[in-house]
Amino acid sequence: MTHITEEDLVLLYYDEPGVRPDVRQHLQECGECSAAAQKLARELSVWNEWTVPEADPELGRSVWAAIAPRLEVSAPLSRRFRWLKFAGALTVMATLLITAFVAGRASRHSRPSLTAGLSKQARERILAISLADHLDRAEMLLTEISNATESDAAEVSDDRGRAQDLVEEGRLMRQTLAREGDSSTLALLDEVERFMLEVANSQEKLTPVEMRQLRERIGSGSLLFKVRIIESNLRNEGQKL
Amino acid sequence: MDAGDDIATNDIQINSARRGDRDAFRVLVERHAKAVFRLAYRMTANEIDAEDMVQETFLKAWKQIGKFDGRASFATWLHRICANCSLDLIRARKRKQDLYPRADNDDEQDPFARLPSGSPSPERLAQSSQISAILIPALNELSEMERTAFVMRHYEGLGIEEISVALGVQTGAAKHSVFRAVQKLRRALEPVMSANR
């Protein structure tokens, strides 16, 4: 067999499963690969020299003392209940904000609008925060689907309504972004919409294969990761403006 | 108490915390704070920032505990939150550096400048200063996903499968991130390793 790839050497070093038995066998027999494995181990062992300062033995207690006054008084709600409680309100708010934003731009030369008194900066802030909230809701659904097992197919089917809401909300945002010329966020919203459409239009009961395909779609394009990054950037942008 | 008891009591505390039991959540904070601190320190390379990230992680964990479904372990779930909090901080730092670039290269010239200001012992500083001065800039050159995946794999001992769950990506993407990180870090350390041969 040909020599072991660097990727397999890394997997062997970390003792990850999935390395073929013949690769392990080759490592025993090939001096060149054995030397390469030793070199990799030597180089990676340098990283072990970077030590972590020993945490304060009372760290747990001091963390609790710092955060306890900041915890919400009410009990954390289960995800589904929280969604039901807030989704409607958030969607209405986001729609109002976006509508106000669009109206503000469209009516510069006509009658006064909801945003007539707002500066350009304030409107941009509204847009950034509304987009971040939209992506936060998309992230929640993507995470649930991503973590779902095949036996959760029925539960994901229940999420079709949420996906449809996200599609509708996203369309309004995409129109605004298209006017603003923000192509990178627009491209992400397009990608999110395609995924949400697929969920919204799925059958009442997803098959295990369909579930797997949905999860693969999230992973193959790192959709969840991109959503998180853009959401965080928008959130920071909104706070800065 | 054996490992089985430990897992069982952890589950009891988690379920109680999901119902809003603050005392149960306090037990979880005290149990997991040090492990979260270790990850936060590897991500931020700063002791004070790491302590802040521990607080942020548990605040977010309280808010989101209703979303925790037990498919990954509670510790892995906390790792995910901590990694995201730390990445937010790193991004904010980068933005600040872009806005207010330093006039000189003080940090590069003085390895102690990169070390945690709250380090308690001078001996520890002396031991780790040189290695930190070499390793941390190399770590900073990795993408966010590569850095997180490498820290979780190399230091926290999470398997690639667990990393993929923690980062919300496919196993292949997590594996590739670990691999790319190792490749880049080896390249970055090549001059140092050659000089020491």
Annotated domain spans of chain B: 1-101, 141-197
B101 φ/ψ angles, rounded to the nearest 5 degrees: -65, 145
Q: Which residues are within 8 A (CB) of A56 and not within 5 positions of it... i.e. 6 or more apart? A: A62
pLDDT of residue A35: 92
- Residues of chain A with Cβ-Cβ distance to B119 below 8 Å are 53
What average pLDDT does this structure show over A99-127? Answer: 60
Q: Quick check: A78 pLDDT over 60?
A: no
Half-sphere exposure for A178 (CA within 13 Å, toward CB): 8
Using the beta-carbon criterion (under 8 Å), do B33 and A60 form an inter-chain contact?
yes
Contact B17, A48 (CB under 8 A): no
- Whether residue A65 has pLDDT greater than 50: yes
* pLDDT (mean) for B52-77: 89
Q: How far is A15 from chain B (nearest CA, A)?
A: 9
CA distance A62 to B47: 15
A233 interaction partners in chain B (CB closer than 8 Å): 91
| Nearest-angstrom CA–CA distance, A100 and A113 | 7
- For residue B187, with 0-12 CB atoms within 10 Å meaning exposed, 13-18 middle and 19 or more buried, which class applies? exposed
Instruction: Quickly state the pLDDT bin for A62 (edges 50, 70, 90).
Output: very high
For the cut 70, the answer to whether the pLDDT of residue A26 exceeds it is: yes
Residues 6 or more apart whose Cβ sits within 8 Å of residue A161 = A200
Residue B124 CA neighbour count, 13 Å, CB half? 12
User: What percent of the residues of chain A are helix, what percent strand, and what percent coil, each to the nearest 5?
Assistant: 75, 0, 25
User: Collapsing DSSP states into helix, strand and coil, what is residue A75?
Assistant: coil
Rounded average pLDDT over A173-195: 81
Residue B5 scores a pLDDT above 90? no
- Is B50's pLDDT higher than 90? yes
Nearest CA to B45 out of B110, B93, B99 is that of B93
- Residue of B13, B38, B58 for testing the chain A interface, max A β-carbons within 10 Å: B58
Cβ–Cβ gap B62/A14 under 8 Å: no
Q: What is the pLDDT of residue B150?
A: 95
Q: Are B62 and A72 an interchain contact pair (Cβ–Cβ within 8 Å)?
A: yes
Chain B's closest residue to A220, CA to CA, is B170
Taking an 8 Å cut-off on Cβ atoms, the answer to whether A76 and B69 are in contact is no
Beta-carbon contacts of B111 under 8 Å, excluding residues fewer than 6 positions away, are B129, B130, B132, B133
Q: What is the CATH number that goes with domain B141-197?
A: 1.10.10.10
B47: nearest CB among A53, A79, A229: A53
Helix (H, G, I), strand (E, B) or coil at B22: helix
Cα separation, B197 vs B192, in Å, equals: 9
Exposed, middle or buried: residue B197 (CB in 10 Å: 0-12, 13-18, 19+)? exposed
Q: How far apart are CA A159 and CA A156, in angstroms?
A: 5
Instruction: Name which of B56, B54, B53, B70 is nearest B17 in CA terms.
Output: B70
Task: Kindly determine whether residue A10 and residue B159, on different chains, have CB atoms separated by under 8 Å.
Answer: no
Report the residue of chain B nearest A140, measured CA to CA.
B67
pLDDT at residue A228 in the model: 83
| Residue B72 near residue A84 (C-beta atoms within 8 A) | no
B154 DSSP 8-state letter? I
Q: Using an 8 Å CB-CB cutoff, list chain A residues near B72.
A: 147
Residue-averaged pLDDT of chain B: 79
CA B118 – CA A135 distance, rounded (Å) = 37
The answer to whether the CB atoms of B91 and A55 lie below 8 A apart is no
**B160 neighbors B178 (Cβ within 8 angstroms):** yes
CA distance A108 to A117: 11
Residue type present at position B75: A
Stretch B10-21: mean pLDDT: 86
Confidence of residue A225 (pLDDT cuts 50, 70, 90): confident
Q: Tell me which of B194 and B140 has the higher pLDDT.
A: B140
Q: Which of A22-36, B34-48, B66-80, B129-143 has the lowest mean pLDDT?
A: B129-143
Please answer yes or no on whether B169 and A76 come within 8 Å at the CB atom.
no
Give yes or no for residue B157 having a pLDDT over 80.
Answer: yes
ipTM value, please give it.
0.77
For residue B55, list chain A residues with Cβ-Cβ distance below 8 A: 63, 66-67
Determine the residue of chain B that is closest to A227 in CA distance.
B168
Among partner residues A59, A228, A233, which is closest to B34 by beta-carbon distance? A59
Reply yes or no on whether the pLDDT at B3 is more than 70: no
Sole residue written with tokens 């190792």: B182
Lowest-pLDDT choice from A114-118, B103-107, B169-173: B103-107
Q: What is the pLDDT of residue B19?
A: 85
pLDDT of residue B127: 47
Least confident of B69-73, B98-102, B182-186: B98-102
Nearest to A234 by CA among A151, A125, A148: A125
pLDDT value for B105? 44
Query: Residue B108's pLDDT is what?
Result: 40
List, in sequence order, the alpha helices (H) in chain B. Answer: 3-18, 22-44, 47-64, 74-99, 106-109, 122-140, 144-150, 160-167, 171-195
Return mean pLDDT, chain A: 77
Choose the mutation target among A50, A73, A213 for the interface with B, i.e. most B CBs under 10 Å. A50
Model pLDDT, residue B197 = 56
Nearest CA in chain B to A40: B186
Domain B1-101: state its class. mainly alpha
Å from A2 to nearest chain B CA? Answer: 20
Spatial contact of B141 and B184, defined as CB atoms under 8 Å apart: yes
Query: Which residue from A minimizes the CA distance to B21?
Result: A75
Q: pLDDT band for position B146 (50/70/90)? A: very high
- The position carrying tokens 């350390």 is B189
Q: Which of B23, B73, B182 to mutate to test the interface with A (most CBs of A within 10 A)?
A: B182
Residue B91 token pair: 């991004």
The amino acid at residue B31 is: R
A138 close to A192: Cβ distance less than 8 angstroms? yes
> d(Cα A197, Cα B48) in Å, to the nearest integer?
44
Q: Is the dihedral of CA A11, A17, A20, A23 positive or negative?
A: positive
Q: What does the alpha-carbon distance between residue B37 and residue B46 come to, in Å, rounded to a whole number?
A: 10
Residue A143: list chain B partners with CB under 8 A: 67, 168
pLDDT tens per residue across span A135-145: 888 888 888 78
Contacts of B85 in chain A (CB under 8 A): none
Q: Is pLDDT above 60 for B35? A: yes
| pLDDT above 90 as % of chain B | 37
The predicted pLDDT at position B101 comes to: 58
